[in-house]
Amino acid sequence: MKQKEFIKKISLFLILPAALLLSSTVLAQHEARIVINADLGEQQISRHIYGHFSEHLGECIYGGYWVGEDSDIPNTRGIRNDVVDALKATNIPNLRWPGGCFADEYHWMDGIGPREERPTMINTHWGGVTEDNSFGTHEFLDLCEQLDAEPIIVGNVGSGTVEELSKWVEYVNFDGVSPMANLRREHGREDPWGVVYWGIGNENWGCGGHMTPEHYAILYRNYATYARNYGDTRLRKIAGGANVNDYNWTEVMMRTIPHWLMWGLSLHHYTTDWYNKGPATGFPEYRYFDIINRCYDIEHVIRRHMTVMDRYDPQKNVALVVDEWGTWYDVEPGTNPGFLFQQNTLRDAFVAGISLNYFNEMSERVRMANIAQTVNVLQALIHTEDEKMVLTPTYHIFEMYKGHHDATLLPLHLETGYYEFEGESVPALSASASKKDGRILLSVVNVDPRQDSELMVDLRGQDVSDFSARILTADELDAHNTYDNPDEVVPQEFNSGRLSNNELRVTIPAKSVVVFEIN
């Protein structure tokens, strides 16, 4: 056995208890400094960076959103009221559907019309379960209207046809007399929905067809051409982009596809070790450090993709759309391995906080992102079981960060100490600042599990007089909310720090996320 692996394994027994319940004892303190230039911001942080992804996978749709009109669970036209209310509290900006891998085997006409007449299908990607297509286009767009969120529909390129996608756009968006518009009216919807965002396939380098980038780029040009604009609805088409660090895929897309034909180019980046994902709870410190280190790596990956895009599009007309991101662990014991249900802990809140801070920083190019996934799957914001619902630590990050939506990004300079483990290190703090309606929002993540950070914030370019703050933390890194204990990890008022002469001095506790509102 290699020495490093032996050290990792022995740490399970000698360094920490079995569930890695790290002590909250502070061993030392980092010194950190943030300079915020409140008068120099120019770039707007798009609210669509805070978007979501919901696939026909496990219990994300069925049981997560959809229970049917006859359910005893309170619902509006079959859609759970509690889930809608919870997501609306985060100001959810958009929702991506029906996949994911599922999108490239989904034939939309099977999911319209009377539900009792809809054909069933086998979800070959996720568990091999049979679906009855009771949740289709009308139900999804009803959900988006209830959420007041922009829909993002991903079309079928892998097993579909140009005609199929073209007719879907016509069915959804055309206001005149045509076969598809008339069919929509027959199914109870008079007015078109006017859906703007359309993905042209998903992961076409993998589950969406195992295509070469050259082949997909030509298909994209064909499919996108026949996804027409109708009336005042101008489509924003999203090309299927790279997997993590496949920079050649981005190169071929930017070189081959006319930029006026694609609003955005996607990127998928999961924070995981694909060969050894590990558990969602009960993890040793080396796994915690590895996940945080991998999360920080998204900055390097995005910068490389943006460098390629800048070479072909220096005006930054094409958005980078990170439409699948988040953590991916082993499924919870006893659950269907094809349903990808994992617990969600304080560690996941840190991944969300760091990622969103960085998306804010890169908002000149990153103009949309979608965490995977919203309910019951992977890094979910919400878990449901029958009539029960619980909000995860990741949910609370999205709610705490909602003040960044459509705010002006403020230039921020961060000097921080480092969280060190087994000879490696990552920045202890991650931060982002924005300004809207005269108030400054500052989000700070301290990933060090033991050391507080003594932070001085130098606010320049605007006089400030007071502040408030909330903190998300817990005694253990794998702390999580359950149906029996839903408030184990929830935001609390943070009544610490001193503001004087435009300087905020505050101690950021170990393993915490703190969001300040400065007036």
What SS3 string covers 241-293? EEECCCHHHHHHHHHHCCHHHCCEEEEEEEECCCCCCCCCCCCCHHHHHHHHH
Residue 324 annotated as catalytic = yes
pLDDT of residue 6: 38
Q: Is it true that the peptide bond before 314 is cis, omega within 30 degrees of 0?
A: no
Average pLDDT (298-327) is 97
Residue 170 annotated as catalytic = no
H or E segment to which residue 452 belongs: strand 452-460
Q: In this model, does residue 262 exceed pLDDT 60?
A: yes
Please work out, in degrees rounded to the nearest 5, the angle formed at the alpha carbon of residue 52 by the alpha carbons of 242 and 335: 90
Average pLDDT (7-35) is 53
Q: Are 443 and 513 in contact (CB under 8 A)?
A: yes
Listed range (25-34, 92-101, 189-198) with the worst mean pLDDT? 25-34
What are the tens digits of pLDDT across the range 408-445? 999 999 999 999 999 999 999 999 999 999 999 999 99
Please work out, in degrees rounded to the nearest 5, the angle formed at the alpha carbon of residue 28 by the alpha carbons of 25 and 31: 130
**pLDDT tier for residue 21 given thresholds of 50, 70 and 90:** very low
Average pLDDT (229-238) is 98
What are the tens digits of pLDDT across the range 154-190? 999 999 999 999 999 999 999 999 999 999 999 999 9
Average pLDDT (133-159) is 98
Average pLDDT (217-232) is 98
pLDDT of residue 138: 98
Average pLDDT (377-401) is 98
The C-alpha atoms of residue 41 and residue 273 are separated, in whole angstroms, by: 37
**pLDDT tier for residue 216 given thresholds of 50, 70 and 90:** very high
Average pLDDT (243-262) is 98
For the entire predicted model, the pTM comes to 0.93
- Domains belonging to the chain, first-starting first, are 3-42+410-518 (2.60.40.1180), 47-407 (3.20.20.80)
**pLDDT tier for residue 25 given thresholds of 50, 70 and 90:** very low
Longest CA–CA separation in the chain, Å: 73
Q: Are 370 and 7 in contact (CB under 8 A)?
A: no
The C-alpha atoms of residue 472 and residue 474 are separated, in whole angstroms, by: 7
What are the tens digits of pLDDT across the range 447-504? 999 999 999 999 999 999 999 999 999 999 999 999 999 999 999 999 999 999 999 9
The C-alpha atoms of residue 201 and residue 26 are separated, in whole angstroms, by: 49
Residue 326 falls in which region: left (phi positive, over 0), alpha (psi -120 to 50) or beta: left
pLDDT of residue 28: 62
- One-letter amino acid at 469 equals A
The C-alpha atoms of residue 427 and residue 448 are separated, in whole angstroms, by: 9
The secondary structure of residue 203, as a DSSP letter, is -
pLDDT of residue 145: 98
Q: In this model, does residue 17 exceed pLDDT 70?
A: no
Which of 139, 285, 324, 399 is catalytic? The answer is 324
The C-alpha atoms of residue 208 and residue 480 are separated, in whole angstroms, by: 34
Residues in the chain: 519
Q: In this model, does residue 16 exceed pLDDT 60?
A: no
Average pLDDT (345-369) is 98
Average pLDDT (390-402) is 98
pLDDT of residue 430: 98
The C-alpha atoms of residue 210 and residue 203 are separated, in whole angstroms, by: 8
Q: In this model, does residue 19 exceed pLDDT 90?
A: no
As a three-state string, the secondary structure of 128-152 is CEEECCCCCHHHHHHHHHHHCCEEE
What are the tens digits of pLDDT across the range 32-48? 999 999 999 999 999 99
Q: In this model, does residue 29 exceed pLDDT 90?
A: no
Which of 131, 139, 203, 399 is catalytic? The answer is 203
Mean pLDDT taken over the chain: 94
* Residue 519 Cα distances to 21, 442, 501, angstroms: 37, 11, 13
The C-alpha atoms of residue 427 and residue 419 are separated, in whole angstroms, by: 6
The C-alpha atoms of residue 175 and residue 264 are separated, in whole angstroms, by: 26
